[in-house]
A and B are shown apart, each in its own frame.
Chain A
Amino acid sequence: MHEAAIAQGVIDQVWKLHDDGVWSGKLLEIKLRIGKLTAVVPDYLAFCFEAMTQDTPLEGVKLDWEDVPVQGLCHACGETSEFEKIGFLCLTCGSPQVDISQGRELLIDSLEVADDQ
């Protein structure tokens, strides 16, 4: 639902990185890392990104992403659990003293850039 706002965030950050001198040349691909616990549907995000970059210098740039699984660290036993579904009790000892340590990521991981030679 708010994927357009997230897509705008991607576009803004990519240009900020450009202005900061992090990349130059022709941008081919943006690789994201999207936590499974974010309220973001990557396919919608890619659709919004494509629509919003039409007729701009970012038109045709590929948006790719990697899902980041949900992990939690248990304070009772110290083990890390990887959760496939809702219900964040430690998978080792069953304790509810679990802090989600991974899965809330909403990151631009890397950019693929072509340098004209």
Chain B
Amino acid sequence: MTSEKTRRVGVVTNILAANDRVADENRRLFAAKGLCVINLISSPGAGKTTLLEHTLPALTARGIKAAVIVGDIATTRDADRLAVHDVPVVQICTEAFGGSCHLEASTIRMGMDQIELDGVDILFVENIGNLVCPAEFDLGERAKVALLSITEGEDKPLKYPLAFQESDLGLITKLDLLPHLDFDMDALRENLDMVNPKLPRIELSARRGTEMEAWLGWLQQQLEASRA
């Protein structure tokens, strides 16, 4: 007769330890290459690609070399839009990795192997349009930037608090549409304060160039800090 004795083993292990280990390796790799990595997260259609379309030439004009890893569930449309700006771009169709809704540290590593990063100063990661999952995964980046377009409504920060808590900068995009919308900017600012009062913010329009200088200045600061 076999009697079963049970015991409880305390382990206290991070569930995402495997991702975090790769993210730490990425961080070391980025530091060794002198790469400042910026992770852009937002819901679909908030303007990540449009922001980059206007950011890449402006950085080139300042003598800063950029590259982009683009994540999407399907199609290479975003990468095609960015490739015309003469910077290294790689599209990671996450379909090939199981149709995931976010990028993980290991996906970034695979993307890095596919582009020429020598001499690159800033590597943008255009995450998959999704405000939930990408916030949970450390990629080894220097900073997360959460974009929120004013067409999405004032309550997004309250609905997706994690994205705005985990980010180092909030970009309020599509400011040029303000006259056409019933949008309460003060309510948005208050909602952001409710979730993360310390989050620095820039309200901009990439299309019109409004406050793009502030965004470029922030990027320059990140680049300098990453090399300090």
A residues contacting B by CB (< 8 A) are 1-2, 5-6, 9-10, 12-13, 16-17, 22-23, 26, 28, 31-32, 37-40, 86-89, 96, 100, 106-117
Contact = CB atoms under 8 A, between A and B. Distances in A.
A110 B10 contact: yes
> Most chain-A CB neighbours within 10 Å: which of B11, B12, B102?
B11
Interface stretch (B29-37, B167-175, B176-184, B194-202): B194-202
B114 to A, nearest CB: 22
A38 B9 contact: no
Contacts of B130: 1
A96 B165 CA distance: 13
A40 B16 CA distance: 12
A105 B195 CA distance: 18
Contact of B6 (A28, A32, A107): A28
Interface residues of B, number: 38
Nearest to A98: B197
A71 to B, nearest CB: 14
23 contacts: A1-B132, A2-B132, A2-B137, A5-B104, A5-B137, A13-B18, A17-B13, A23-B11, A26-B4, A28-B6, A31-B8, A38-B162, A39-B135, A86-B161, A96-B193, A96-B198, A106-B14, A107-B12, A112-B7, A114-B6, A114-B7, A115-B5, A117-B5
A40 to B, nearest CB: 8
Nearest to B161: A86
Contacts of B5: 114-115, 117
B2 interface: yes
A108 B194 contact: no
B221 interface: no
Contacts of B132: 1-2, 39
A96 B197 contact: yes
A42 to B, nearest CB: 12
A110 B8 contact: yes
Which of B12, B15, B101, B133 is most buried by chain A, counting CB atoms within 10 A of its CB? B15
